């Protein structure tokens, strides 16, 4: 089956692709060949592995977002400066030897002061605005590098990135806390308590983190509780920092379901009922919106 065009969400860890007929996905595929695992000359082959069944004889447009456009990616896509619409028609072509490929990479967004960048989230923002036209408020996109984004009149006004997800992963897997935190499992109460503590005194982070280790040694803190508490301490500190973003605002969460749920639980006691739209649908809607601008 041949696609009119191909939509690709290509992040650091994964590649997801959809065969599109008009605005409708008719097949989906992907692999774990994310940007982080590839040298520049390996991107074309990695893409063909996932999409070659969908290619006709002539060139098929491929619209891609994410870290594929980073400096270490296939080819560097520019950053557009906020305030601006999340996507526009200015995309960069990626060099491909196969004449059946016509690959365009969506530009990221940058902010001068405070310095900040995003790649991939701009497409999700476009998708969200496509589904909720006229939205004025705040998007939170939790992940390795969580983004908080102010949206007004269809534009990204400002944004800020938090390394919360990457810190969680480093601390849980590579610090002394690896002896203390479970790989899975959760405890809602421990999470909520830790969020509260961190919102109240975010500066205590580094001490409370070591407190997890001491809690294990002295009071047999269960590893599931430690894991939920670690997450709560980090997300709570982020909420302390982002209060101007969420206080009294319309907030929507776009991210992996488990993580988005944790953020929603953390925000609820603060009086914020955050929407949680389907992230895959939003991403695809963003790629469709970008394609329409070429």
- 16 to 32, 34, 38, 152, 210: CA distances (angstroms): 9, 9, 15, 29, 38
Task: Report the distance separating Cα 222 and Cα 229, nearest Å.
Answer: 11
By residue count, the chain amounts to 294
Note whether 220 binds its own copies by CB under 8 A: no
Helices (H) and strands (E) in the chain, counts: 9, 13
Note whether 37 binds its own copies by CB under 8 A: no
Q: Considering only residues 78 through 117, tell me which ones interact with its own copies, judged by CB under 8 A.
A: 79, 110-112, 114-117
Copy the structure tokens of residue 245. Answer: 């973003």
Owner of token pair 């991107």: 43
Cα separation of the two ends of the chain: 24
- Min dist CB 287 to its own copies, Å, is 24
Q: DSSP secondary-structure letter at 52? A: G
Q: Considering only residues 3 through 32, tell me which ones interact with its own copies, judged by CB under 8 A.
A: none
Copy the structure tokens of residue 237. Answer: 């500190």
- Min dist CB 147 to its own copies, Å, is 10
CB-nearer residue toward its own copies: 24 or 243: 243
Q: Considering only residues 146 through 205, tell me which ones interact with its own copies, judged by CB under 8 A.
A: 160-164, 166-167, 170-171, 174-176, 201-205
Task: Report the distance separating Cα 236 and Cα 204, nearest Å.
Answer: 11
Of 88-96, 124-132, 216-224, 283-291, the segment contacting its own copies by CB under 8 A is 216-224
Number of chain residues interacting with its own copies (CB under 8 A): 43
Q: Considering only residues 266 through 285, tell me which ones interact with its own copies, judged by CB under 8 A.
A: none
Copy the structure tokens of residue 116. Answer: 């900040």
153 Rama class: left (phi>0) / alpha (psi -120 to 50) / beta: left
Note whether 214 binds its own copies by CB under 8 A: yes
Radius of gyration of the chain (CA): 20
Residue selected from 211, 222, 250, 261 as contacting its own copies according to rule CB under 8 A: 211
- Min dist CB 239 to its own copies, Å, is 9
Residue selected from 183, 217, 247, 256 as contacting its own copies according to rule CB under 8 A: 217
Residue 84: count other Cβ atoms within 10 Å of its Cβ: 16
Closest Cα to residue 266, out of 218, 234, 219, 226?
A: 234
Residue selected from 45, 207, 247, 294 as contacting its own copies according to rule CB under 8 A: 207
CB-nearer residue toward its own copies: 111 or 283: 111
CB-nearer residue toward its own copies: 100 or 160: 160
- Min dist CB 227 to its own copies, Å, is 16
Contacts with its own copies, residue ranges (CB under 8 A): 71, 79, 110-112, 114-117, 145, 160-164, 166-167, 170-171, 174-176, 201-207, 209-211, 213-215, 217-219, 234, 237-238, 240-241
């Amino acid at each position: 089956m041949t696609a009119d065009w191909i939509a690709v969400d290509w992040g650091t860890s994964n590649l997801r692709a959809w065969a599109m007929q008009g605005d409708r996905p008719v097949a989906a595929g992907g692999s774990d060949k994310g940007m982080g695992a590839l040298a520049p000359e390996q991107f074309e082959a990695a893409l063909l592995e996932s999409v070659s069944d969908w290619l006709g004889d002539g060139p098929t447009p491929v619209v891609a977002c994410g870290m594929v456009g980073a400096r270490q990616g296939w080819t560097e896509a520019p950053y557009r400066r906020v305030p601006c619409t999340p996507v526009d028609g200015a995309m960069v072509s990626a060099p491909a030897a196969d004449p059946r490929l016509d690959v365009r990479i969506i530009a990221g967004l940058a902010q001068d002061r405070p310095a900040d960048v995003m790649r991939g989230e701009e497409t999700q923002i476009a998708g969200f605005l496509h589904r909720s036209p006229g939205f004025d408020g705040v998007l939170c996109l939790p992940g390795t590098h969580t983004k908080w984004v102010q949206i007004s009149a269809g534009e990204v006004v400002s944004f800020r990135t938090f390394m919360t997800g990457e810190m969680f992963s480093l601390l849980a897997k590579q610090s002394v806390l690896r002896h203390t935190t479970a790989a899975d499992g959760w405890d809602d109460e421990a999470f909520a308590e830790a969020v509260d503590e961190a919102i109240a005194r975010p500066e205590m982070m580094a001490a409370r983190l070591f407190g997890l280790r001491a809690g294990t040694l002295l009071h047999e803190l269960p590893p599931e509780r430690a894991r939920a508490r670690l997450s709560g301490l980090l997300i709570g500190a982020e909420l302390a920092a982002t209060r101007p973003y969420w206080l009294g605002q319309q907030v929507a969460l776009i991210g992996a379901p488990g993580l988005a749920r944790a953020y929603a639980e953390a925000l609820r006691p603060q009086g914020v009922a955050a929407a949680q739209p389907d992230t895959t649908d939003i991403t695809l809607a963003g790629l469709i919106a970008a394609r329409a601008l070429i």
